[in-house]
Chain A
Amino acid sequence: MSTKNQQVIIVGGGAAGISAAAQLAEFGISSKIIDEATKLGGVVYRGPLRHTEELPHLDEFYQKSQKSLQDKYHNNKDKIDVQLETSVIGPDGANGLILSDQKSLSSLNYDYLILSTGCHERSVPFPGWTLPGVMMMGGVQLQIKSGLVRPGEKMALCGTGPLLPLIACQLHKAGVEVEGVYEASSFTRLAKEAVALLNKPMLTLNGLSMMSYLKRNNVPFHYGWGIVKAEGKEAVEEITVAPYDKEWKADLSKARTAKLDSIGIGYGFVARTQITQLLNLEHEYSYQSSYVPRLSGNQRSSKDNVYVAGDTSGILGSDGAAFEGQIAALDIALRMGAIDAATHASRTNKARKGLQRVRNFRFGFDRFSERQLGMLDLPDDDTVICRCENVKKSQIDAAFERGVKDITSLKMATRAGLGDCQGKICSAYCYDRFKQAGHAERMGQLRARFPVEPISFAMMED
């Protein structure tokens, strides 16, 4: 079979997608990137959506990484076809996708498919978490990075991991008064990972300089503290925070409050697997990333011509995503006969070494900020768990008492996961409840539904 006209489609134009396309282009292979946004780069490197003369709140390190990813695309532009503002809403036959651009539907066939759809944030319900002004930390960051607006004037950040100091600095430089940063894990746990952090000395140094920026600017950074609740009449006005023990159970005897108008919450990420599910790829449970597609070597999924790269295959961040995209592209190039086995082996090995360095670094941080189930105690009976369908914690508890042991039964018993978001927000909490009850093996995956994105009736007329 001739490979000349074979179509390589990449879903998601972030670090993994762009790196894959650029790698293919190097060997003369054209590809097409589909992305839902108005700009390439993914949520991390999309950059500002409107014109601005300056970016006072984004550091040089970020601006350099963003430029290098944009350059990867620009230097290979003639081999990379890009279709923006377009979402994949499901599969079309054996080797096709249905696309939506909010005005009409179309279909697209592929010979090879790379899914690099990234991740979204893990929701942690607590009393008041649905109040306006309570945002996920990445959402806060998108507002200041891409929207160039402050989502609040006085804010706190509660969560875990390296994004906390980064976003705190960005908010402060953007003119937000940062009341405090609350890292759930203790400093002792971070200190244990010192060796792992030396795998990426530049990143570690960068992290240290962020910590010293916060110190210089009197932004308090509290290790071993976390959110308890948010309160306010119509929007958030006050939060309660408390020390967390090593199971991340809040010590309410030492709780204190802070007045503010917005808060960012970030306790980790989950892989965005709606498309990988609808393509019927095999998945496996991952405590860190919820469910992830099962991969064999070279990022290949259970379907021979479908590859998964980047955070969709497990959270590793944009540096890891770039290597994974490259590895997938090298495998496709070999199968298309564009490179020989020796070139493939040496280039793949090089990418794998890079990936391993990222992993060694990343796993240090992952161990430090591994989520503890004590947070499941935060919501009270009336706390809404599924915000789309208004399902309260007491209803989830009642279903567990009746003996529900899997997520599909939970959905049928309570309607949790049946709303517009298709369970992307409430499933993380539900999986953790099953895990806590000892049902992780049998709980199953909350299935994505076609269409992944809402479409209007008018779009289906043709």
Chain B
Amino acid sequence: MLNRKADITPIGESQIQIYIDDEPVNVVEGETVLSAIHAVQKNQIMQNDYKANLGAYCGMGICHSCLVNIDGKYKQRSCKTLIRDGMRVTTMSNRFNDMGIKDNQPLVTSADFEEKVASSDQPESEDSNVN
């Protein structure tokens, strides 16, 4: 259990828990994932595609510097996501690094892509973000 050390006022009786990097944390309704992360005094939140460590910066959904993996979905803004009971939050998790893609190597070649399209009748996975 990670201790909440940065609360300004007591959270009261906590009925729900989330997991931050596999460790349980008591949380209460209404909180954002970011405030739960800050409550346990973590500030290294995200590793970007260039392997830079980032933390919360704007705190209001603008900067995309607090992206975490939530229940398997990459690139979720922790500052804009409310906690849900049992949620699993992974910080410093980056799809490129997790999948073992080496530096300076193209992610997908056009041949890979055509092959994938030809062999797949499944819709795109849910966690792919477009922007």
Contact = CB atoms under 8 A, between A and B. Distances in A.
Given A136-B58, A140-B59, A457-B128, A50 B6 contact: no
Contact of A139 (B29, B39, B50, B58): B58
B117 interface: no
Given A51-B28, A384-B52, A143 B63 contact: no
A403 interface: no
B32 interface: yes
Contact of B59 (A36, A139, A175): A139
Interface string B1-19: 0000011111110000000
Contacts of A120: 58, 60, 62
Interface in A77-122: 120-121
Interface string A192-230: 000000000000000000000000000000000000000
Contacts of A272: 62
Given A36-B80, A54-B9, A56-B9, A142 B131 contact: no
B8 A148 contact: yes
Given A51-B30, A147-B31, A147-B35, A135 B57 contact: yes
Interface in B39-97: 39, 41, 43-45, 48-50, 52-65, 67, 73, 75, 79-80, 82
Interface residues of B, number: 52
A347 B67 CA distance: 46
B127 interface: yes
Interface in A128-144: 130-136, 138-140, 142-144
B124 interface: yes
Contacts of B127: 456
B130 A53 contact: no
Given A132-B45, A149-B39, A456-B126, A421 B80 contact: no
Given A148-B9, A457-B126, A132 B43 contact: yes
Contacts of B54: 130, 132, 387
Contacts of A43: 60
Nearest to A141: B59
A78 B55 CA distance: 41
Contacts of A174: 8
Contacts of A56: 8-9
For A43, A388, A419, which residue has the most chain B Cβ atoms within 10 angstroms?
A: A388
A54 B8 CA distance: 10
Given A38-B30, A147-B34, A387-B63, A55 B56 contact: no
Interface of B is mostly: loop
A286 to B, nearest CB: 19
Nearest to B41: A153
B35 A149 contact: yes
Nearest to B29: A50
Contacts of A262: 43
Contacts of B35: 49-50, 143, 146-149
Contact of B123 (A135, A147, A457): A457
A304 interface: no
B43 A151 contact: yes
B120 interface: no
Interface in A16-72: 36, 38, 43, 48-57
A174 B127 CA distance: 37
Contact of B8 (A136, A175, A421): A175
B52 A130 contact: yes
B53 A419 contact: no
Given A56-B9, A456-B129, A458-B124, 12 more contacts: A53-B9, A53-B12, A54-B9, A140-B59, A143-B56, A149-B7, A153-B6, A153-B41, A425-B58, A456-B127, A457-B126, A458-B123
26 contacts: A48-B30, A49-B30, A50-B31, A51-B30, A53-B9, A56-B9, A57-B8, A120-B58, A131-B55, A139-B56, A140-B59, A142-B59, A153-B41, A387-B54, A388-B48, A390-B52, A420-B131, A421-B62, A421-B64, A424-B63, A425-B58, A454-B129, A454-B130, A454-B131, A458-B124, A458-B126
Interface of A: 36, 38, 43, 48-57, 120-121, 130-136, 138-140, 142-144, 146-153, 174-175, 234-235, 261-262, 272, 384, 387-388, 390, 419-422, 424-425, 449, 451, 453-458, 461
